[in-house]
Structure 1
């Protein structure tokens, strides 16, 4: 029975952590054994419910001495649990996990989750390079494959593209009861019948909230409400800047900054158009996927992984990043859709997500990568969609 060890810095919150839990569950359901090593966090309770052992080690540390000790600690975990394969999901733990796996003579897998900062020093590039040293390297998008090729010269024969998976049972329009919509609409004081545009994401400049405010001003429709949903995480100056920008552009009464939302499926259902306006390319773009899973029309920037996830002209629109004129033009198109067109977009978007971007697809493909290394299975076909 294969035993798969996943290693990540912490189990607090985020896409990496959620993916770790999802894969651990799939391992258990396949009749294998899963083990997870991290520095701990509230999501360890999810592992407890699955009956998956969690070993708490300081693998979140970037201190070279601690990382060196972690090699010995992880080697002990590998021996005690009879680990067959190690899967590292972040750079600091990957250095220790790579050395421990090599000592044990077992396969080593990484998931390359983002572009990672490079900085002016070559040492940072070498620090990042550990994520390209797996016997298999899982890239969460073809955008990331291109980045690895251009930045690190990776041998693409070891790369497998596995997009992040959406929980299509939670992000399902039929699962959202009317009282959830009413509760949110009342909390956010949305007027009946007002068109709603939403940009989910923490308040940070590269998420493009200012671009959307500029586009809203050009839209010239005072009935529209614009929701910026996400915590400022202490960036009070940027929040004040956005509020001032909205007032100066004459849309102060239309823009609502909402600190957080504990029911994103309902939030998507309240929305006519979901916008991703990131000025920097995103490695995946969970908002683009979640919104389509809920049947919403999406407008996203034409860079990063968005062109892989969004079917432009069918489930939404791709626009040049940082271009408020183009964004305003796409918003006009989206808001003018009649009921039949909106229904067709919703059906196409939901089917697109359930077919190619579900949590089940992600976990099934990840376990297949393990089978390549453990049982000599034929290479996983990595091309899911035509190149954008």
Structure 2
């Protein structure tokens, strides 16, 4: 099996490619990944995958046309039975190579690809041209159906998987949590409300700052609101956040701590994890990982994230694993955070157990890999006689 992706740097698509390759290798198949390389190459190889250096990230039409033939030769020589693309430019190359060799081709939507112009929609449409089109959430599947209704019969939803061995309280030494609290300047008496996401407007940092101001005005103190994420060069937005913090008098209360390399420990350190996105998320990794660790979550009722959190009104309060609030609604976010922070020990422990069980049942890494391998087999197995 050959997966093609621009690079093997950190990211959801890249991580999933490595995880699926490991699952293939464990099942006894050869797992090839064609990409330009990256920091995950070593992990790919250590888990049984094979890296094929390939200029998969190019968007030059002439180079892409040449790459179709080049990839077809590689696939032929390596006896590849199926090509799986995880990004648009590589998908055009993979589609061409698969058609040359007359082998199955499938794609995975790791995000939403819309496009306002006809050329852009045509370019994006390659992701809906797979013999099977995998969507990483029900929300993403709905977007694909609305944009490319002709692809509807071929869409399969396979939620992104979480490594439950890594995101387990028992796997995290207390020293890791203590180290983060010290690095963030959080006192022993302070609880943490964490927003772990890159600093970009649609991730909702401004909404959380507004909610923090409302909570302080209500008398709720000894809370550290931690914004853990890289600004990725968005100096203007960072300055805007700092001005808002100063205007609300929240210096020292709201803290920008930069990139966090140990998100498992960060989620465990938090009393509540906030995911206040103001634009739709294609999945909702932070909410799933936090629930796996038993930390209460408050998320925007928008995009795919609500699929990962059990909460009223769609579910009874007795099975709640978190809270859903309207996107961009700071008072609603503040109210939900206050409710989460007010949980007693028994109620918090019961919610943590429900959340972990929910993630184990629906969002485990093993479930995702098994579903993906089943999809491969469905494409490779001949139809039953009379079927």
TM-score normalised by length of structure 2: 0.94
How many residue pairs get matched? 374
List, as ranges, runs of 4+ consecutive aligned residues in structure 1 with deviation greater than 6 Å.
Answer: none
Supply the distance in 1 between the matched residues of 2:180 and 2:150 (Cα, whole angstroms). Answer: 47
Deviation string, structure 1 residues 289-344 (Cα, Å, up to 9, x no partner)? 11111101000011111111011141110000011011011011111111111001
1:98 is matched with 95
Report Cα offsets for 1:152-187 as digits up to 9, x if no partner.
224322111001011111110111111111111111
- 1:61 alignment partner, SS class: coil
Map 1:59-74 → 2, pairs under 5 A: 59-74=56-71
Give 2:325's aligned residue.
319
Structure 1 residues 262 and 39, CA, compared in 2 at 3 Å: closer, same or farther?
Answer: same
The alpha carbon displacement at 1:250 in A equals 2.2
- 8 A contact 1:206–1:280 mirrored in 2: yes
> Please, what is the CA RMSD of the aligned residues?
1.2
Q: Following the alignment from structure 1 to structure 2, what is the Cα–Cα distance between the partners of residues 276 and 21?
A: 26
Rounded Cα–Cα distance in structure 2 between residues aligned with 1:21 and 1:219: 42
Deviations 1:92-120 (A, max 9, x none): 0100110110110111110011112513x
After TM superposition, give the deviation of residue 265 of structure 1 in Å.
1.1
Q: Which residue does 1:384 correspond to in 2? A: none
Instruction: Show the counterpart of 1:366.
Output: 372
Residues 344-383 of structure 1 mapped to structure 2, 5 A cutoff: 344-376=350-382
Q: Which residue of 2 aligns with 1:386?
A: none
- 2:226 alignment counterpart: 227
Q: Deviations over 1:226-265 (max 9, x none)?
A: 0000011111221121111012112222001011112111
1:204 and 2:204 aligned: no
Match of 2:239 in 1: 240
Alignment of 1:247-286 (within 5 A): 247-286=246-285
Partner of 1:383: none
Tell me the alpha carbon deviations over residues 5-48 of structure 1, each in whole angstroms, 9 at most, x when there is no partner. 10011111111111000000000111111111011112111222
SS in 1 for 2:31: strand
Q: Secondary structure at the match of 1:148?
A: helix
Tell me, in whole angstroms, the C-alpha distance in 2 between the residues paired with 1:149 and 1:352.
27
SS at match of 1:191: coil
Which position in structure 1 is the counterpart of 2:342?
336
**More off after superposition, 244-253 vs 30-39:** 244-253
Q: Which of 182, 189, 195 does residue 191 from structure 2 map onto? A: 195
The corresponding residue for 2:162 is 166
Aligned to 1:381: none
Matched residue, 1:185: 181
Q: Secondary structure at the match of 1:33?
A: coil
Uncovered stretches (5+) of structure 2, i.e. residues with no partner: 312-316
- Cα distance in 1 between the residues matched to 2:192 and 2:39: 34
State which of 27, 30, 34 in structure 1 corresponds to 2:27. Answer: 30
Counterpart in the other structure of 1:125: 121
Question: How far, CA to CA, are the matches of 1:263 and 1:112 in structure 2?
Answer: 27
